A and B are shown apart, each in its own frame.
Chain A
Amino acid sequence: MQEAVQFTPYTVASAMGKILWLIPALPIVAAGILALLKQPRRKLASSLAIGSLSISLLLALAAFGDVLAGWASGHAVRETVNFAWLHFGATPMDLGWILDPLSAVMLVMVTLVGLLIFIYSTGYMAQDENYTRFFCFLSLFAGAMLGVVIANSLLLLFMCWEIVGLTSYLLIGFWYQKPSAAAAAKKAFLTTRVGDIFFILGIVWLFAQTGTLLFYNQGAGNMEPLALGGLLAAPAAWGLSAATVIGLLIFAGAAGKSGQLPLHVWLPDAMEGPTPVSALIHAATMVAAGVYLIARVYPLMSAGIIAGGTTTALTVVTWVGASTAVFAALIAVAQNDIKRILAYSTISQLGYMMAGLGLGGVAVGMFHLITHAFFKALLFMGAGSVIHGCHEEQDVRRMGGLWKAMPWTFGTYAVGMLALSGFPLVFSGFWSKDAILESAHKWHAGQGPYFLLVFGALLTAFYMTRQVSYVFFGKYRGHGHAHESPRVMTAPLAILAFFAIALGVVGTPAWPWFRSFLTDRPASFGLTGFSEPGLFILMATSTLVVFLGLALGWALYGNKSPRAEEPDTLERAMPPVWRALSNRLYVDEFYGATFIAFYHWWARVADWLDRRVWGGMVAAVMWFFGLWARFNRFLDEDWVNGGFDKGCEELSVGGGLLARVQSGRVQTYLRLLALAVVVLAAILIWSARG
C-alpha cells in the first residue's frame, strides 16, 4: 500500500525554521566547551551536556508544534532554509536544513531519548574517571545526529553522518584499555566505511545527474518531480535507471549504518562500549539514521512507481530488510550475553524498519523506528541497570531471580520486552509491527517477505522470553548480592516505559494519526479502520505468533535456573543448529576466511611489491643519486674548490707583498712617493721628446 505523498504548499521559512540550526548547534557547542574542560569538573560537564540538550528538546518541541499547527490548519509544512556553501566554478554547493513532519518527529525522538540517556549516564558513568570526555563525545554525537535529521542537503547529511560515525567509533572504544573494545571500535568504523563508499558514490552520481544535492528547493531539489523525472530517464546499466542505481548506492550506505545484511557484523561487537552508548547510538538513534536516510530519499527510491506496484530499489530494500530481520533473530536465540542478545534484536528490528519502508512507505517504517527507539533504549538501559546491579556481569546464565532484587528494573524491562515482542493491543510495538506485517501481506510482488517477517516475530518473542527468564526468574546464580540501581537511572526507565506503551495510541488502525501526519492527510478517529478486509485475520495471526513464541520460550526456559556450565535446552535438542547459531552463523568466520584473508594475502603481495619492486626502484634511484653526488663532490672539491683555493692563495700572497709595502714606516712611503715622481717625470720627459 503505497501512498503518494502530496506536499503542495511551500511556506516560506518561519521564525522556527530560521532558528532550527540551533538544535544541533547547541550540543555541538557544548561538546566543544566540554573538550576544553578539565577532568575533575564532573558536575559542570554533565550539567552542560544535559542543559544544552534540554534546550534542544524544547526547541524541537516548538518546531514539532509548529509543524503540528500547520498540519492541523490544513496546509503541510515544509520549510527549507538553503544557502550556498561553496562554488565550484559556476556550480554552487548548497547546504540547508528542513523542517517537515519527518524531521520534526525525528527531532523530538532524538532529543527526548537522548536527554533521558544523558540523565541515565550521570548515574551509570558516575565512577568513571573519563566522565567529562564521555559527555563531550555524547554531546557531539547528539549534535551530529540532530544535524543528520534536519539536513536538507545530502552533503550536509553526509558530513553529519560521518561525525556520527566518528563519535560511534570514539564511544565504542571509550574503554580503549580493553583490547576487545579497541578492536570493536575499529571494526565498526571500517565496516560502516564499506557502506559509506557506496553512499558517497551515490551522492556524487546524484550531483552529476541533477546538479544539486538539496532535497527540496522550490521545485529544483533532487527529491522533487523535475529532478526525479530526469533521473528516471537517464539509463545506467543492466536496464536500470539512474534513479534505481543511485537509490541502491545510498541504500548501501544506510545498510552499513543500520547494520543490515551483510554489513551487520559490527553492531554486536559495538556493545563493548558503555551501555548508555549502546542504548543511544546503537539502538535508538544512530543505527536508525540509515532508516531515516531511506525515508528521506524515499521519493528517489520510489521514483516511477505505479499505484500498487513497487520499484527495483524498494524491492531490494524489502528483501534485505526481511532477511536481516530473520537472520539476526535466529542468532539472537543462541546468545548468552545480555547486550549481544539485544544487539541482534536491534539488527532484526532494523530489518523490520527497512522492510516497512520498502513495503509500506515512509510512515510504516518511521512508525516502527520511533516506537523501537523508545522500547529498545528502555531495554538497553534496563540491561545496563541489570549489569550494574550484578557487578558488571553480562552473561545471562549468571543472573536470575532479579525481579525481587530489582523491581523497578524488572517492571520497566518487562514493558520493553513485551513491546518488542509485539504483545497485543496495549504495547506500541504491536501496532508498529502490525502495520509492517499488514503492508507485507498486501504486497503485490510476493508473499516471501510476509512469511519471513512473521517467522521473525515468532523468534523475537521467543528469544526475549528466554532472556527475561534467564535474567529475572529462577534463582540468582551470580556472585555477591544484586542491588537496585539509583533513582537517576530508574527514573528514565520509567519515562521510557510510559512512552513504550503510549506511543501505540497514535498508530492504531482506528486512529492512524502518525501515518496521516507524515503523509499530510487529515486524521480521523473511527473504528472503521479495523474493518479493512483481512485486517482482523492478520492481527489474530500475529497475536497467535507472539503467544506461541512466548509460550515456547517459557516452556523451554521458564523457572529453570540452569547453571552456566550446563548446555542450553535447545543445544540438547538440536546441537548442530545451536552451534551454528551461537557462532553467529559463521558470518565473521566467513568474512575472516574470505575478505580478511584476501586482504592479508593482498597485503603480503603489496608488501612484497613494496620491498622488492618499488623498494628496488627507489634503491636504484638512490644509488644513482649517490653516484651523482659523489661525482659532484669530486668536481666541487677538486675543481671548484681547488680553483677557489688557488685564487685565495694568490690573493693572500699578493696581499702579503702589498702588506710589506705598508710597513708602517713613513719614510718608506715617502721614498716610494719620490720614486714615483722620478718615474713619472721620466715618462713625461720621454713622451715629450717623442
Chain B
Amino acid sequence: MTPLAGYLLVAALVFAIGLAGALTRRNAILVLIGIELMLNAANLNFVAFWRYLPHPEALTGMMFAVFSIAVAAAEAAVGLGLVIAIYRHAHTTDLDEMNRMKG
C-alpha cells in the first residue's frame, strides 16, 4: 500500500463517516457537521494528490484545497445561519419534523 493510497483511504473513511452522520442524525447541526467532514475529506484528497503526483510545483492541488477551505468557511457560516433561522421559525432542529418542502 502506497502512502497515497493510505491517505486516500483515510480520506474515504472520513468521507463515509461524514456521509453516514449526515444521513442518520436528526439534528440539523449534526448534519452540517457531517457535511463539513465530507468537505475536509475532499481537501485531504486534493493535498494528497498534490503531494504524490508529478509537478507539485504547480501548486494546483494545494490551491484547490485552500480555496475549498475558504468556500467551506462561507458554507458553514451560511448553513449555520440557516439552521438558526429555521429553528426560530419551527422551534426545532429535528430534520424528521421538517418536511415542509414536500413536493
Contact = CB atoms under 8 A, between A and B. Distances in A.
Interface of A: 658-659, 661-667, 670-671, 674
B23 A661 contact: no
Interface string B77-103: 000000000000000000110111111
B102 A662 contact: yes
Given A664-B101, A664-B103, 11 more contacts: A663-B102, A665-B99, A666-B31, A666-B95, A666-B98, A667-B24, A667-B95, A670-B22, A670-B23, A671-B23, A674-B19
Contact of B95 (A658, A661, A665): A665
B103 A658 contact: yes
A652 to B, nearest CB: 13
B23 A664 contact: no
Interface residues of B, number: 13
B81 to A, nearest CB: 16
Contacts of B101: 662, 664
Contacts of A666: 31, 95, 98
B41 to A, nearest CB: 13
14 contacts: A658-B103, A659-B103, A661-B103, A662-B102, A664-B98, A664-B100, A664-B101, A664-B102, A665-B95, A665-B98, A665-B99, A666-B95, A670-B19, A674-B23
A631 B3 CA distance: 81
A662 B103 contact: yes
B64 to A, nearest CB: 20
Contact of A663 (B22, B23, B99): B99
Contact of A665 (B19, B22, B24, B96): B96
A664 B99 contact: yes
Contacts of B96: 665
Contacts of B31: 666-667
Nearest to A658: B103
For B19, B24, B96, the residue with the greatest tally of chain A CB atoms inside 10 Å of its CB is B19
B71 to A, nearest CB: 18
B94 to A, nearest CB: 11
Contacts of B24: 667
A278 B83 CA distance: 103
B22 A667 contact: yes
A658 B101 CA distance: 14
Nearest to A655: B103
Contacts of B23: 667, 670-671, 674
B98 to A, nearest CB: 7
Interface string B12-37: 00000001001110000001000000
Nearest to B22: A670
Contacts of A663: 99, 102-103
Nearest to B100: A664
A573 B76 CA distance: 136
Nearest to B25: A667
Interface in B54-81: none
Contacts of A661: 103
Contacts of B95: 665-667
Residue among B24, B96, B101 with the highest chain A CB neighbour number at 10 A = B101
A659 B22 contact: no
Nearest to A656: B103
Contacts of A674: 19, 23
A664 B98 CA distance: 7
Contacts of A658: 103
Nearest to A661: B103
Nearest to B24: A667
A670 B24 CA distance: 11
A351 to B, nearest CB: 99
Contacts of B100: 664
Nearest to B19: A674
A673 to B, nearest CB: 9
A89 B23 CA distance: 89
B27 to A, nearest CB: 11
* 10 nearest A-B residue pairs (beta carbon): A662-B103, A664-B99, A664-B102, A664-B101, A659-B103, A665-B99, A671-B23, A667-B23, A664-B100, A670-B22
A12 B103 CA distance: 92
Contacts of B22: 667, 670
A458 B23 CA distance: 131
Contacts of B99: 663-665
A210 B61 CA distance: 106
Contacts of B102: 659, 662-664
B16 to A, nearest CB: 10
A664 B95 CA distance: 9
Nearest to A662: B103
A670 B19 CA distance: 9
Nearest to A677: B19
A354 to B, nearest CB: 97
Residue of A662, A664, A667, A670 with most partner-chain B CB within 10 A = A667
B85 to A, nearest CB: 15
A21 to B, nearest CB: 81
B56 to A, nearest CB: 26
Nearest to A660: B103
B66 to A, nearest CB: 25
B44 to A, nearest CB: 18
Contacts of A665: 95-96, 98-99
A668 to B, nearest CB: 9
A659 B96 CA distance: 17
A669 B8 CA distance: 26
A664 B86 CA distance: 14
Contacts of A670: 19, 22-23
A661 B100 CA distance: 13
A665 B22 CA distance: 12
A659 B101 CA distance: 11
A658 B99 CA distance: 15
A679 to B, nearest CB: 15
B74 to A, nearest CB: 19
Nearest to B99: A664
Contacts of A662: 101-103
A274 B31 CA distance: 106
B34 to A, nearest CB: 9
A658 B102 CA distance: 11
A29 B103 CA distance: 75
A387 B14 CA distance: 126
A559 B43 CA distance: 144
A661 B24 CA distance: 18
B92 to A, nearest CB: 14
A661 B99 CA distance: 12
